[in-house]
Amino acid sequence: MMSGRWPITLLVAAYLVLAVMYSIVTPLFESPDEVWHYEYTRWLAAGKGLAAPEDVGVAPWAQEGSQPPLYYLLGAAVTWFIPTDNAAEAIRYNVHAAVGNADAFGNKNMMLHGRVHAWPWRGVTLAAHITRFVSVLLGALTVLLTYRIALTALPGWPAAAVLATALLAFSPQFLFISASTNNDNLVIVLATAGLYLSMYLVADKKTPQWWIWLVFGAVVGLAALSKLSGLLLAALAAVTILAVAWAARAWRVFGQAMLLTGAAALAVAGWWYIRNWLLFGDPLLLSVMFAGVPPQGEPAGIAELLALAPGVWRSTWAVFGWFNVLAAPWVYWLYTLLVVLAGVGWLLGAVGRRQQLRVAIQIKPVLLLVIWLALVSIAVGRWAQVSYAQGRLLFPALAALVTLMAGGLLAYWPLRWQAVIAWMSAGALAVLAAVAPFAWILPAYPPPMLAAGAETPVTVDAHFDKGIRLIGAVIEPTELHAQDEIAITLYWETMQALDQDYSVFVHAVDTEGIVQAQHDSHPGLGSYPTSEWETGQVIVDTHRLTIPPGAPAPSTLRMEAGLYVAATGERLASDEGETVQVGKVYVLPATDALPGATRINFDDKLALVGFDLDRRTLRPGETLQVALWWEALAPMAQDYVVFAHLLLPPDAVWAQHDQMPQAGAARTSTWHVGDRIEDVHALTLPPETPAGVYRIEIGVYDKDSFERLPVNFSDQGVVLAQVKVEP
């Protein structure tokens, strides 16, 4: 193993190369909340000042104006001189963005991209990339501090510092966040610095000098001035002070350290929280944050937290975009395996290799790592109960996690082999990190697809306003069942430059005129907005629709396409009207024994496995018969009630029917696991019912408490199908 400064120099250099690559490869603002982090930086760089009450809800920074301002002030300090008058051109939102949906077909991009983001950078593009590079440098400091933390905690295993640093520096997720404009990067480095100071203080056998407590307090204050999660560092400081005072058996040390650390922290960050209290009546500005990102209606319970945990874990290592671009499954299994092996390694060391552990580790610093990791994990769990948790929220404790992982993984090996294992592992992790942007990030933002003239199927010839032509369409397959997918590829051409970003819609419409399935997108899977089109190009634009289980079968659906302005809903006219028919598909009868075969799980107690409607159109005063087939999933002590609504969107219920299954003849408390029960509901419309397309919505609730059984943790009604009410 190399000695001296070479190991950390090599690791930091490799990190810098990778992080700069991530910052260039990842399209601008395609990291969680990055556009709003940048908008607040731009706001401050323009001299508009810290967020004020009158800015809430109207400023372009969404909830980020509620954040402590240190990171944004730093970004403003290095970009204030750059003109950003091209902001309207550079910051364009994709209204069809599939935020949080990794299974979405296209539209993984939160923003619309084009020539303004290309090299050479200028204006907003240049300023945003500079703030990204500032984040990269902050990440480099985190890498350096992680190396020092591992050396402090595991001095007898110097190779652990290499492995711990590699686990952090070459983590695809850490690189992804470090390469974005995000205040997490500042709080991460400050929390890591605070952890290092804490370990140094508890490991030092001498009573610390007074000025060290002032430095510690200043770091706590800077963290609290970077992000609310930085306030957690105050708890670590209190634990550290208590440990140092206990070791010195001197409560005078405790009082002095608390006074100096607290005074320094307040001097650095106190003004921010006092300002918030005076201006907003809320020192933490949570009210402002939740104005931009509303909290969950009810705090998540244990079951929901457990369901969310895998997503948080995956996003600790490799989830990109706006929580909608995943790595291959084996990546998550790899990191899970490493953590499990590390835990077993510590357990084996504690049981069978105590002498080796005594020589290798510093017990107090290791305990601090565990305490800090637990504090941050509890805080993230608490946040997940009220808002949206992601793995990056664990990053203030990432240095603690990787140091513990490195120690556990090397505990299997004799000291003479540890350096080889550490560097081989570092090399493998670096390769994974280098491959990730090209294997998973770039493919999520495909380049425009253009067709040569000979490749264009001339099956459609529709002329739209603004010089746009639809010159071809291909539909595959043309025969399918409900819940199958259809791929529709449209071929567009423009005869003139366009200054508007039009959205494309593709509808599958039944014989009653009801849209059974649709897909709306900017062209090219969201990647090629119309304002970027060049005259004479033929643009290949693919859409994918899923036929819902409630679609009529057998039936013929006509496929229609068109263009519209998303902000107003105004459709672009063509020589065939506002929609153009591009083909037909045939929905075949279900092969399942039950009509409308589906499987909707109600809290693991019962499942809807099929349904049928006696008609698809009706008039005011008429009755719709809805047949439901249920399957018992577990014994039930309660007697549940099923409701069926006929609802005019968004929420007007015009007919409903609530009853226990089979009007009480098949009470759920009498069901046995596996039983299938047919249950018919009659929905009668009043005479004054307006015409329109209605949804059939069902649900299940407790007859005594009226509490609904959730489906995927939601107690909202489940939409089965649509029907048309005629005048």
Q: What is the pLDDT of residue 307?
A: 82
Contact 229, 187 (CB under 8 A): yes
What does the mean pLDDT of the chain come to? 92
pTM above 0.75, yes or no: yes
d(CA 517, CA 396): 44
Taking each helix axis from N to C end, the angle separating 123-153 and 158-169, rounded to the nearest 10 degrees, works out to 160
**51: Cβ–Cβ under 8 A, 6 or more apart, which residues?**
40, 59, 61, 65, 66, 285, 288
Q: What is the pLDDT of residue 353?
A: 64
**The CATH fold of domain 600-725:** Immunoglobulin-like (2.60.40)
Contact 64, 42 (CB under 8 A): no
**294: Cβ–Cβ under 8 A, 6 or more apart, which residues?**
none
Q: What is the pLDDT of residue 359?
A: 67
Enter the DSSP assignment of 575.
B
d(CA 543, CA 491): 11
Q: What is the pLDDT of residue 1?
A: 45
Task: Provide the total of helices (H) and of strands (E) in the chain, helices listed first.
Answer: 18, 20
d(CA 672, CA 667): 11
Residue ranges in the chain modelled with pLDDT below 50: 1-2
pLDDT tens per residue, range 633-667: 999 999 999 999 999 988 899 999 999 999 999 99
Q: What is the pLDDT of residue 355?
A: 63
Torsion over CA of 57, 59, 63 and 67, rounded to 10 degrees?
Answer: -130
Does the 453-587 domain belong in CATH 2.60.40.770? yes
- Same fold? 453-587, 600-725: yes
Domain boundaries of the chain, sorted by first residue: 6-441, 453-587, 600-725
